[in-house]
Each structure stands twice: as structure tokens, then as C-alpha cells.
Amino acid sequence: MTGFTEPLDRLTPDEKRALVCALLQRRASGEEISPLSQGQQAMWFMYRVSPGNPAYNVPIAWRVRSQLDRTAFDGALADLVGRHPMLRTSYLELEGIPFQRIGPDSGQVRLEAVDARDLDETGFGALLTAEAMRPFDLESGPVLRWRLYDRPDGEQIILLVGHHIAMDAWSVFQCLDELASLYVARLCGKPPDLPEVEARYTDYVRWQAAMLGGAEGTRLAAYWGGRLSGAPPDFGLRTDRPRPRVRGYRGDRCAVECGAELSSALRGVADAEGATLFVVLLAGFYALLHRHTGQTDLRVATPMAHRDQASFGQVVGYFADSVVLRADLSGAPSFRLLVRRVRDAVLEALDHQGLPFAALVDLLRVERDPSRPPLCDISFGMQKSHRARFRRAAAAGPGGAGGASLFGLRSSGADALVLDLGGLLLEPHPVSHPMSRYDLDLQLHEADGEIFGALTYDTDLFERSTVERLVGNLRVLLGAAAADPDLPISRLPMLTQEEQRLMLGWGEANG
């Protein structure tokens, strides 16, 4: 359960001596070598199995809406990488054990200019996708890339692509927040007004190992072992195609929009039950899955920040991990009762969220299946919009249709939210990353009183038309649940008007 000591225990005495010598030689050459967290170990394992797999790339793009000082921006990036060792870390194996190799060089990361003025929108979209999908070499580094694309009429697009082993969504916005101060400082020629980062990711790795090896680790293992034991391995969601023997991670996204009226009604249900909007939406997702499978024992994975220790709040690194939420839908509950059950399950999970997902898989002795993710095929999340430095765009920017960006910010159009990096205004720009880590992954956001997001799906399993139908069913079901939460979930309407029309036509033709 300690994450790092278990691999050491498997080494022979000669292998341990060789490992110690290798570590001493590395340190003598000026390199800082440290173990990986449990989450990083799992990420490294997947990287070694499939080095070219871009499923764990994290892309985000912006349209530049003001004057960009390239020299100041490059200097700010160098300062940022200098503040956070994780951004200048590469990875290696010694005697079969993975380590972090923290380098001193902060100059590897800079804003690389790309001339894309001759490309039309389709060609430019393909170029962005290709960069978002380009694999990382974790053994050589760097773990993030910045690109500046020059477009016709002086337009500029910035693309950031990082690898998940080095950052989570919290880390991305921590970096952006600091980048704003660093950019202003470079423009003004003054020291940045930023506090020193009190801890490092290596401190978190040591804390995690000590916690899992102590009484808290025992408590967490006992809870999750009991909570998830006996859960059915598969609750039988019908797919359009047979599951391939090896997961391809190929995916696509279908937009989800709830609108202001429905969003307000759902917040009303949450307030009435002393629950969060996350709980109400998750209950609706469970109800949808129940209606499509008939199962009453359902599991959904959800990401949690895992930053309970205040000292790690400013640390850039891979903290977020999945927690498995098991829901009881037996006894034909009303939607209100289901919300209460889900609320209680979420509160319990929050109190026991410290066990890494990789440790949970080992604890439950889950047999690895290359055709599907372990424990859960389906995921749900609701991200915060991180709007501290965002403001409303003054007018619509050039470009394509609006939509939801990776982190839930409106992209393109009059209702876009613009990121203010010390006067450098960046409007979220869509970038395609056609990958899916789950069969279905519903990620929702709330901004300006509306709920929106996307349902990502495995294209090896589902046709787009099937997923569009699921999204429509979900919206109808949520509307019915908000209007009458005391209605049993089995009686909640969920057919869209188009489905009702088709069914009516079929009935008349066969009447």
C-alpha cells in the first residue's frame, strides 16, 4: 500500500545495490531523482505499454484578443517553469522502477511560432488536432508544449498541450494564474508579486507513501474494500458494436446543453435537498443508465482533486484521481430519494478519497482487461469554471461556432469568457482531441447560470446517433425530474419529441 516500497521489496539484494549505485551516480551528476506517486506510476505503466498513445495529452487553446509581447511571454514561461520542478521533469527506469528526473533547465519550454496563414479553417483545425494528439517523450521531456499560430488578418492562436503525468486541471489554472503575474512583471521589468511555493510534488509523494503505509491507509482500504466488494463487473449497457479485444481510446464528443430555465430548476432541487448541483446531475445520470440497462447496482467513476493538504494547494502536479461511486437504485425510488442516496454516497466518498485508484484496483484484485478500463466503464464529472481572471468578451471574435472548451469555458462568440493574463486577453478556442478513456464520460460545467458540457464516447463501441439520443434522453429526464422530483425514476419521461414522433408513426403503421 505504500506505492514505492513494494517495487523495492521485489528486488534481489544485488538489484538493490545496483539501484543505489545508479541513484548515487545520478545525484553526483547534478540530477535530482525521486520516486513517483501512485497515480504517476499508473500513468507511467500505460505510457510504457503504449508510448504513442495520446489519450493522456491535455490540450487547451486560445485566440489572442490583444497585443502579445513574445519576449515577455517567453520570459514568463521560463519563470513559471523555474518555479515548478514538475514542469521540468522527465522520467526514467532504474532496475525496472520508474523515477522522476528533475532537471535545472527552464529554457526548454517556450512559445514556438508556427506560420498557419495559408490554411483554411478545416486545415487549421486538422493542424491543431495533430499537435494535440502528438505523443510526448516522457523520458526526454519536456512535458508541455506551447505553440503560437499566425493566422490570416493578423489573428493568432495559442495552444498549450501538457501530459497528464505532470498536471491536472487544477495545475493548469494554477499555472495560468501565475503566468499572468509573471507576464506583467516581465513587461514592467519588476520582480513578480508571487509568494514562494511552500512545497514540491516530491513532498506529496513522500506524504502519500507515509499516509498509505499508516493507520489512515488502513482505514481507507477497509472502507473501499467493503464498499465495492461484490459489485457486478458489468451492468450491461448495450453498445452498437462488439467490444474490441484491445481498447483503442478513439473517441468523439456530443455537446450537452441544459439552458437557463432547466439549470435553475435543477439548482432548486439541489437547494431543497441540501445537495450540490453535482449530486443532482449525477443522480440524473444514474437514472438514465438505470433506464437503459434495468440495473439497480451502478458504479460511476468521478475525478476528485485530492488536495486536502493546504500546503499542496499551489503545487503543480498530478494530484487528481478517480473515485468510484456506487449507487443503489433498488426499490423504485423517487428522484428525490435517489438524490438523497447519491448525496450520502458522495459525502462518504469525500471522507475516504485519499486511496489512489491504482491502489484500489490492486486491493480489489481486479483482473486487468485490455479491452476496458478497470472497475468502471463510465465516468461523470463536474468541473469548476476557474473564473477568477475571466471576464466577458466585449464583442464576438472571429472564427467558428461557439462551444465548450476543455475546461468548460464558452469559446467563440459574443458570450465568450476571456482570460485576462495581466492585460493579455485570450478567448477559449476549440481544439479537437478525439480520445476517450471510458466507454462514456459525461463532463458538465456551470457558468453564467447555465449547465453545459459534453458526453465523450468510445467510437469503437457507439455510433454518434446513439450518443445523441442518450443526450436527448438525459435532458428530457432531467427536465421531468426537476418538475416533479417525487416521481419514481421508472416513470420519468425521457423520450425526445423526435423519438415520440417515430414511435407514434411506428404504432400507427402497425396498428
Same-domain check for residues 262 and 232: yes
C-alpha span between 28 and 439 (Å, rounded): 47
209-228 pLDDT tens trace: 999 999 999 999 999 999 99
pLDDT category, 449, cuts 50, 70, 90?
Answer: confident
d(CA 339, CA 287): 10
When mean pLDDT is compared over 12-21, 95-104, 136-145, the highest value belongs to: 136-145
Whether residue 411 lies inside any domain: the answer is no
pLDDT tens digits along 117-161: 999 999 999 999 999 999 999 999 899 999 999 999 999 999 999
Residue 41's φ and ψ, nearest 5 degrees, are -60, -45
Q: How many CB atoms lie within 10 A of CB 434?
A: 15
Number of domains in the chain: 2
Cell of 64: 489572442
Q: Are residues 307 and 163 both part of a single domain? A: no
CB 202 within 8 A of CB 100: yes
Q: What's the average model confidence in pLDDT over 463-475?
A: 96
Q: What is the pLDDT of residues 323-341, one digit of tens each?
A: 999 999 999 999 999 999 9
Same domain for 335 and 248? yes
Q: Domain check: are 339 and 444 in the same one? A: yes
ω into residue 142 within 30 of 0, thus cis?
yes
Q: What's residue 128's pLDDT?
A: 97
More confident site: 315 or 94: 315
- Which tens digits make up the pLDDT trace of 340-354? 999 999 999 999 989
Do 131 and 112 form a contact (C-beta atoms < 8 A)? no
* pLDDT mean over 472-490: 97
Apex CA 280: angle with CA 238 and CA 261, to 5°? 105
DSSP per residue, 118-156: T--HHHHHHHHHHHHHPPP-TTT--SEEEEEEE-GGG-E
Are residues 243 and 141 both part of a single domain? no
Burial of residue 24 (number of CB atoms within 10 Å: 0-12, 13-18, 19+): exposed
Give the domain-ending residue among 150, 175, 200.
Answer: 200
Rounded Cα–Cα distance for residues 54 and 132 (Å): 8
The four Cα atoms 339, 345, 346, 349 give a dihedral, to 10 degrees, of: 180
pLDDT of residue 198: 87
- Which of 200, 233, 251 represents a domain boundary (last residue)? 200
Contact 31, 394 (CB under 8 A): no
Same domain, 191 and 215: no
The answer to whether position 504 is within a domain reads yes
CATH code of the domain in which 493 resides: 3.30.559.30
In a domain, residue 391? The reply is: no
Residue 254 predicted with pLDDT over 50: yes
User: Is residue 279 domain-shared with residue 217, that is, in the same domain?
Assistant: yes
Please say whether the beta carbons of 453 and 442 come within 8 A.
yes
> Do 137 and 264 fall within a single domain?
no
Contact (Cβ atoms closer than 8 angstroms) between residue 424 and residue 66: yes
Residues 107 and 130 in one domain: yes
Note the pLDDT of residue 414: 43
Between 449 and 106, name the one with better pLDDT: 449
7 pLDDT above the threshold of 70: no
Residues 6+ apart with CB under 8 A from 320: 39, 168, 169, 170, 303, 304, 305, 306
Question: Which helix (H) or strand (E) segment is 79 a member of?
Answer: helix 70-83
In this predicted structure, the answer to whether residue 13 has a pLDDT above a threshold of 90 is no
Mean pLDDT, the chain, whole residue set? 87
145 & 292 share domain: no
Quick one: residue 332, left, alpha or beta (phi over 0 = left, psi -120 to 50 = alpha)? Answer: left
CATH code assigned at 149 = 3.30.559.10
- Give just the sign of the alpha carbon dihedral 10, 90, 405, 192: positive
Quote the strand ranges of 350-487, DSSP E: 378-383, 390-392, 403-404, 410-411, 417-421, 424-429, 440-447, 450-458
Residue 420 falls within a domain, yes or no? Answer: no
Output the pLDDT for position 401.
33
* Residue where one domain finishes, among candidates 173, 200, 227: 200
392-435 pLDDT, tens digit per residue, is 444 333 333 334 444 444 454 445 668 888 889 999 899 999 99
- Domain for residue 454, yes or no? yes
Identify the band that residue 498 occupies on the pLDDT scale cut at 50, 70 and 90: confident
Residue 232: pLDDT band (50, 70, 90) is confident
174 with 265, same domain: the answer is: no
Classify residue 410: in a domain, yes or no. Answer: no
Look at residue 126 in the predicted model and tell me its pLDDT.
Answer: 96
Identify whether 343 is part of a domain. Answer: yes
Q: Are residues 189 and 238 in the same domain?
A: no
In a domain, 238, yes or no: yes
CB 111 within 8 A of CB 77: yes
The CA distance from 38 to 209, in Å, is 8
CB 459 within 8 A of CB 440: no
304/355 Cα distance (integer angstroms): 11
For residue 12, pLDDT over 80 is answered with no
Contact 256, 444 (CB under 8 A): yes
- Looking up cell 458489468 gives 234
Residues 6+ apart with CB under 8 A from 87: 80, 81, 106, 109, 142, 143, 144, 166, 167, 175, 316
Range of the domain at 165: 5-200
